[in-house]
């Protein structure tokens, strides 16, 4: 599943998109206990032996970290995960009830999807047979001229992307238009750097990857010798594709990923792939132009198609096919997939219980069906109304912040305010739910359900091309613990799942809520003005609305943040990438500042002071502790390294310490002295 647009999330949830679902497998088929409801502002989490001015993260989270080791089936465990686990459990209850005794046609549909996924005996009995037709199609292919036919059919029927990805996106120069986009894809490792880096750790991981691919071929029935040869072929093709792929940092700049051309121009660039045939197979044969997101990749693909043997290309496509469905096949495939992607790459100790996998899978396939019942049960209307008020408080605060910036000219401020005024807010769940009537679900056909669901989503996505943009659509399902800003839509989105403790509790004092959900709202708003978002105007079009001098000052200020976060270490010898995490860091810093100002306004309206104490802490201290505690987490070393290379978000420790040291109100609240780590002499500020 790819998110086509530049949407910026609050967190990268449930690991990375390897294939279709999160790491998982077939152990316990039912929960053993009910996850406890997280609380906002946890006094027992605080490590009072730590000095908040030296290491605030340790102060806010030290005892929590000590008392909350990472569960075996997780690679990172934080307060975020506590809430996600609870939401997932509540969702499981709905799914189980619907599977056992559905009361509505929609419950019957998602209940059947869940029940089919949970049927481990059936999965084990079927082995790899559900994907045999796809494997046979690859095996029968023997003519370069028909590669586009094969790729088109495999993509259309099974959602398997050989080499590249095809989807719709909003035209970044005219956000009212939906256009086709062809983008780099088709790697088995999480990032191109895993193929290209020459350090010892990367080399070892590549060897482990080849061993994994070999084992998967053996599971398909190959001899060990055949399998080893095929795995080597896979590595040859994927390395060439990685060399042509654009880096994550380069992809952050909208100009780098926008190359609209005619299909005829694309055809001239890649003569060995017949685009007309491919697009016709994808029912988009009349497409005349598309955004070729990453042209260098298509040149690399062309070279592979022209120079690599048919057998080598077949090995690659065969691997991509089995990899795509590995988590949904029988136990040996699931286990081997876990061994590499979860254990080796991310340090996970135990396979995720099947009930969790199937709950997440059903949410992915039928999120807005499941979500209707989940919202009715778990999201009171009052929560939505209160959230609206908070969003408006934050909007006013960001407006004030912009007006008072000393580095920005009045001309640019007018444009910035226009953009802020144009923000659309989406809270909780969609106004209009998706219609799933065209999706067939069968209780005895788990892989078929998955294939049909992928095809259904794919069609939904490609059908947008040439049609008006649906501004009411969501990119996240209601129980999701996350939030996002979409620069083409210029909207901020908060699913019901995140509007709960530790982020939001309407029974608690405002300082705690502003430090939790308040900063989350401020974070999403600031994304509209980070290194990417600042390049989009109020209508969601890439257009410079900055005076050259202001843009220069903005770039100097973001460069300060790049340097700051470049120095933060997440594992021995592994530092954050300041350029990769720039947008998120800017959003965190801006969010912390404007939510604090919004808190002060709210307290003033209620005739309260930031110095008033509750539980022995001032309002200001409670605000910062609440912010810090949202990010309490423990992470396995492998996962920390993986995230440093692929996740645009900084780790919890640096989301907290990186931001408070840039904000002098923090130092004042805790009585820090200039020169202490959390109150350095020189700090960074953009917004
Ligand atoms: Zn974000």
Report pLDDT digits (tens) over 623-636.
999 999 999 999 99
Distances (CA, A) of 327 to 15, 111, 294, 341, 618: 15, 20, 29, 11, 50
586 alpha carbon – ligand 1 mean position (Å): 9
Q: 198 CA distance to ligand 1 centroid (A)? A: 31
pLDDT tens-digit readout, 85-137: 999 999 999 999 999 999 999 999 999 999 999 999 999 999 999 999 999 99
| Ligand 1 center to 580 CA (angstroms) | 12
Ligand 1 center–CA 591 separation, angstroms: 10
Query: What percent of the chain stands above pLDDT 90?
Result: 92
Residues 296-315, mean pLDDT to the nearest whole number? 97
**pLDDT for residue 479 is more than 50:** yes
Distance 522 CA to ligand 1 centre (A): 10
Q: Has residue 441 got a pLDDT over 70?
A: yes
> Distance from the CA of 534 to the center of ligand 1, in angstroms?
14
Average pLDDT along the chain: 94
State in Å: Cα 464 to ligand 1 middle.
26
Contacts of 223 (CB under 8 A, 6+ apart): none
Q: How far is the CA of 482 from the centre of ligand 1 (A)?
A: 9
CA gap 457, 166 in Å, rounded: 12
d(CA 658, CA 676): 13
Mean pLDDT, rounded, for 632-651: 97
Q: Rounded to the nearest whole angstrom, what is the distance from the C-alpha of residue 530 to the centroid of ligand 1?
A: 10
Tell me the pairing of strands 76-78 and 8-9.
Answer: unpaired
pLDDT digits (tens, 9 = 90+) for 364-395: 999 999 999 999 998 988 888 889 999 999 99
Would the CA dihedral through 189, 190, 191, 196 be positive or negative?
negative
Q: Is the pLDDT of residue 2 over 60?
A: no
CA 466 – ligand 1 centroid, Å: 29
Q: Map tokens 């088709």 to a residue.
A: 186
* pLDDT for 50: 98
Q: What is the per-residue DSSP string for 214-269?
A: HHHHHHTT--HHHHHHHHHHHHHHHHHHHHHSPPHHHHTSGGGG--EEEHHHHHHH
The pair of structure tokens assigned to 369 is: 């069906």
Using the mean position of ligand 1's atoms as its centre, give its distance from the Cα of residue 254 in Å. 17
The average pLDDT across 574-597 equals 98
The predicted structure's pLDDT at residue 28: 54
Report the separation in Å between the CA atom of 654 and the middle of ligand 1, taken as the mean of its atom positions.
14
* CA distance linking residue 245 with residue 390, whole number of Å: 42
pLDDT at 407: 97
Could you give the maximum distance between any two Cα atoms of the chain, in Å? Answer: 78
For 499-523, b where at least 16 C-beta lie within 10 A, e where not — what string? bbbbbbbeebbbbbbbbbbbbbbbb
* 25 has pLDDT over 60: no
Distance 607 CA to ligand 1 centre (A): 33
CA of 10 to the centre of ligand 1 (A): 4
Angstrom distance (rounded) from CA 236 to CA 304: 9
% residues pLDDT > 70 (the chain) = 97
What mean pLDDT is predicted for residues 439-451? 96
Q: How far is the CA of 329 from the centre of ligand 1 (A)?
A: 34
- Residues 468-495 have a mean pLDDT of 95
Measuring CA to CA, which residue among 364, 326, 356, 329 is closest to residue 457?
Answer: 364
């Amino acid at each position: 599943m790819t998110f086509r647009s530049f949407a910026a999330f609050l967190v990268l949830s449930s690991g990375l998109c390897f294939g279709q679902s999160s790491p998982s497998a077939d152990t316990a088929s039912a929960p053993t206990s009910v996850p406890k409801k997280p609380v906002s502002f946890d006094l027992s989490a605080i490590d009072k032996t730590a000095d908040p001015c030296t290491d605030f993260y340790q102060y806010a989270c030290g005892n929590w970290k000590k008392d909350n080791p990472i569960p075996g089936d997780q690679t990172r465990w934080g307060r975020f995960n506590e809430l996600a686990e609870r939401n997932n459990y509540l969702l499981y209850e709905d799914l189980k009830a619907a599977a056992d005794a559905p009361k509505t046609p929609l419950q019957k549909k998602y209940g059947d999807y869940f029940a089919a996924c949970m049927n481990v005996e059936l999965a084990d009995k079927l082995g790899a047979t559900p994907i045999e037709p796809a494997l046979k199609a690859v095996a029968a292919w023997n003519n370069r001229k028909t590669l586009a036919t094969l790729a088109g059919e495999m993509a259309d029927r099974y959602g398997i992307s050989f080499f590249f990805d095809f989807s719709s996106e909003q035209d970044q120069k005219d956000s009212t238009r939906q256009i086709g986009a062809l983008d780099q894809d088709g790697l088995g490792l999480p990032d191109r750097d895993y193929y290209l880096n020459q350090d010892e750790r990367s080399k070892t991981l590549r060897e482990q990857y080849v061993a994994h691919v070999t084992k998967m071929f053996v599971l398909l029935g190959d001899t060990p010798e055949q399998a080893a040869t095929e795995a080597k072929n896979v590595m040859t093709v994927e390395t060439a594709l990685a060399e042509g792929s654009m880096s994550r940092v380069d992809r952050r700049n909208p100009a780098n990923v926008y190359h609209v051309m005619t299909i005829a121009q694309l055809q001239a660039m890649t003569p060995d792939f017949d685009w007309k045939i491919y697009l016709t197979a994808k029912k988009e044969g009349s497409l005349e132009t598309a955004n070729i997101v990453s042209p260098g990749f298509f040149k690399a693909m062309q070279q592979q198609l022209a120079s690599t043997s048919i057998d080598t290309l077949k090995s690659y496509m065969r691997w991509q096919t089995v990899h795509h469905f590995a988590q949904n096949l029988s136990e040996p495939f699931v286990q081997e997939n876990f061994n590499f992607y979860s254990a080796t790459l991310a340090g996970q100790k135990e396979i995720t219980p099947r009930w969790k996998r199937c709950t997440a899978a059903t949410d992915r396939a039928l999120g807005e069906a499941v979500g209707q019942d989940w919202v009715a049960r778990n999201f009171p209307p009052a929560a939505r109304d209160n959230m609206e008020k908070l969003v408006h408080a934050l909007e006013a605060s960001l407006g004030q912040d912009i007006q008072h910036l000393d580095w920005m000219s009045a001309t640019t401020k007018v444009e910035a305010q226009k953009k802020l005024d144009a923000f659309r807010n989406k809270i909780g769940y969609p106004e209009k739910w998706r219609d799933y009537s065209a999706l067939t679900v069968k209780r005895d056909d788990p892989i078929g359900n998955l294939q049909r669901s992928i095809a259904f989503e794919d069609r939904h996505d490609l059908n947008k091309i040439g049609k008006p943009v649906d501004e009411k659509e969501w990119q996240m399902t209601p129980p999701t613990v996350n939030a996002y800003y979409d620069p083409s839509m210029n909207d901020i989105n908060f699913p019901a799942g995140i509007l709960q403790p530790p982020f939001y509790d309407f029974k608690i004092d405002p300082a705690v809520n502003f430090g939790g959900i308040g900063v989350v709202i401020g974070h999403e708003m600031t994304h509209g003005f980070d290194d990417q978002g600042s390049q989009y105007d109020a209508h969601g079009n890439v257009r410079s609305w900055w005076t050259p001098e202001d843009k220069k000052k903005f770039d100097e200020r973001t460069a300060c943040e790049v340097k700051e976060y470049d120095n933060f270490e997440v594992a021995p010898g592994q530092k954050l990438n300041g350029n990769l995490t720039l947008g998120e860091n800017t959003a965190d810093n801006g969010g912390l500042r404007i939510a604090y100002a919004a808190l002060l306004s709210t307290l003033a309206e209620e005739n309260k002071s930031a110095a008033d104490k509750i539980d022995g802490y001032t309002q200001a201290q409670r605000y910062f502790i609440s912010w810090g505690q949202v990010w309490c987490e423990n992470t396995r070393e492998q996962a920390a390294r993986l995230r440093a290379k692929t996740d645009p978000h900084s780790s919890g420790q640096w989301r907290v310490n990186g931001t408070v040291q840039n904000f002098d109100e923090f130092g004042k609240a805790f009585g820090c002295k200039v020169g202490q780590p959390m109150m350095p002499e020189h700090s960074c500020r953009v917004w």
